[in-house]
Amino acid sequence: MANVDKHPVGSFCWFELATTDQAGAKKFYTALLGWDVNDSPIGPDDFYSMFKLSGRDAGAAYTMRKEQRAQGVPPHWMVYVAVANADDAVSKAAFTFTFDAGCEYGGGVTCSTDTTTATHQGNGVLFVGFMAYLRAWFGEQYAVTVGGGAIDNPGRYLVLLPPINGATAASGTPYFTQHPGDPWTSWDAQLTFDYMPSEYCTLRAELTYRRASVPYFAGPRGVTPPDGNQGAPGSMVPGWTPDLVRDEPRVTLALEVKL
């Protein structure tokens, strides 16, 4: 295999593995690809593992941080793209940050109502959330957006009700309750690539990962009974339960046209 001394602009130039089992990853990839490993200390009991092939750098690996694992971020490869000049590569950029806080009031609930339960401590009607997004343009035709957000909303009154057996916000459903103090935290991360050949057309590829503290997203078997919605909207169906999962990875490809 020929050696690459300089990566063409726009090509993948570096590969970095974030893993929960660094020792296992080193053993696996050295056996699979014939790589050697050189560990460099980056903190107490923490190493950056440089993979090498024929004495040349080929990639790297490191152990994911505790904060990442606590938030449910899965092990992943990070891919870097070569540019001619890092300062000149981004023609413009925009950043937005939104922070929200509030509480639920009415229907016997007040902002100071104590809804301490086995799964939640404190005033369960208070919520807090944020979103942060960064968009960078590379010339006039390419753009990348990265961002995400998180929310803590005990009581789930800001959570859209899953349409289980035709459930609506008015009907509710025993499969996913929204009582004061019902625990809810969630977060999402998003990476979007845009190609804009003209001001009227955008080709988009988007990677999204969402995770909730309780089963919420529709799993492979869905949230509709096998024979279709039955009885009153959202009501119990004997012998059936919806397939709800805690996380939702999603890949979206889109063509956007401005008329």
Higher pLDDT, 62 or 71: 62
Q: Is the pLDDT of residue 112 over 60?
A: yes
Could you tell me the pLDDT band of residue 3, with boundaries at 50, 70 and 90?
confident
**Residue 181 and residue 115 in contact, taking contact as beta carbons nearer than 8 Å:** yes
Q: Where are the alpha helices (DSSP H) in the chain?
A: 22-33, 66-70, 86-89
Of 29-43, 90-104, 178-192, the poorest mean pLDDT is in: 90-104
Q: Is the pLDDT of residue 237 over 60?
A: yes
**Residue given tokens 């301490």 in the structure block:** 116
Mention every residue, 6+ apart, whose C-beta is less than 8 A from residue 76: 17, 18
The mean per-residue pLDDT over the stretch 165-188 comes to 92
Q: Is the pLDDT of residue 60 over 80?
A: yes
Calculate the alpha carbon distances from 89 to 13, 82, 169, 202, 206 in Å.
Answer: 15, 10, 47, 20, 21
Q: Which residues pair with 15 in a beta bridge?
A: 79
pLDDT of residue 179: 83
pLDDT of residue 124: 53
**Cα gap 49→36, rounded to integer Å:** 10
Most confident of 2-11, 70-79, 219-228: 219-228
- Domain made up of 11-82: CATH architecture: Roll (3.10)
pLDDT of residue 107: 66
For residue range 120-166, list pLDDT tens digits in order. 555 456 788 999 999 988 888 889 999 999 999 888 889 999 999 99
Taking Cα atoms as reference points, which of 248, 226, 256, 249 lies closest to residue 238? 226
Q: Is the pLDDT of residue 75 over 80?
A: yes
The model's pTM: 0.65
Residues listed for the chain: 259
Of 27-36, 106-115, 190-199, the poorest mean pLDDT is in: 106-115
E strand intervals along 104-237: 126-138, 142-152, 185-198, 201-212, 217-218
Q: Is the pLDDT of residue 203 over 60?
A: yes
Of 35-49, 113-127, 165-179, the poorest mean pLDDT is in: 113-127
Count of CA atoms in the C-beta half-sphere (13 A) of 83: 10
Annotated domain spans of the chain: 11-82, 90-257
Taking Cα atoms as reference points, which of 121, 128, 127, 124 lies closest to residue 109? 124
Taking Cα atoms as reference points, which of 24, 22, 97, 30 lies closest to residue 65? 22
Percent of the chain at pLDDT > 90 equals 57
